[in-house]
Amino acid sequence: MTDLPTAAPAHGTPRVAVIGGSGFYEFLDDPTTVTVETPYGEPSAPIAVGDVGGRPVAFLPRHGAGHRYPPTQIPYRANLWALRSLGVERILAPCAVGGLQPETQPGTLVVPDQLVDRTTRRVQTFVETGAAHAPFADPYCPDLRGALTTAAGEGAIDGGTMVVIEGPRFSTRAESQSYAAAGWTVVNMTGHPEAVLARELGVCYATIALVTDLDAGVSAEESVDQAAVFALFEKHIGRLKTMLGEVVAGLPDEQPGCGCAAWLDDVELPFELPGPGRTVSA
């Protein structure tokens, strides 16, 4: 693919990024926007780079400005490539989820340690030729998970499985009941392929999930309502921003020895990894 230039952010190289809802713009101090081109098209929106806890942090609204992209149309590959091209090594990815178990009541925070893919239409790899098989038995960075769990505090659920469905519709009662019967913890529409694309690029990635509702099959009396989901997430966004600020401030300056990128030492990728100060190519 053709080399594409990447502009340098004014705040310096952001080693940490947050992918979340547009309400997280206020998470950054003195933000500036950076336009990044990728071989996979434009990311969801220009990337904002500002300060959090004295360090440069990038923010990318997953759904774009004004919630432009539904889950099925989010440019996942462009998003992850753009962040990596700016120098991002660690990604925190807050999201909204439906609860599938009695303990996952609305307002509960969950830090999953497993993921099940039930999507059907999404390109979930940068590997288009050759053999480069990313290990994915443990989809989330253990160090980032630990930091998120500690910051989430008492009442948060450490571990659990997030099943990711195609969307944009919510689950039927029968689907929801089958997910719950499988022992899965929460259901979401955006957590995949973000996690595996990050792994392919050697970027640490973890998510913290806010339960906004009990999924349709968990309660016989209730079903999922978009307005209620958005309202509950908005109610808790201040809590999430404070918690993520604590996590960012406490992260070590250097990428930890968690092993998320170690698999790249043993393979020959069919593309060149992007990075700061380099052209973006594939």
Positions marked catalytic: 213, 215
User: Both tokens of residue 171?
Assistant: 């689950």
The helix/strand/coil state of 157 is: strand
Strands of the chain (E only): list them: 16-20, 29-34, 47-52, 55-61, 90-99, 109-111, 114-118, 157-158, 161-165, 186-188, 204-214
HSE at residue 210, side-chain half, CA atoms within 13 A, is 23
What does the longest C-alpha to C-alpha distance in the chain come to? 55
Residues facing residue 34 across a β-bridge: 47
- Residue ranges of alpha helices (H) inside 115-169 are 142-152
CA dihedral 216, 217, 221, 227 (to 10 degrees): -10
Confirm if 48 and 71 have CB atoms less than 8 A apart: no
For 86, phi then psi, to 5°, come to -85, -10
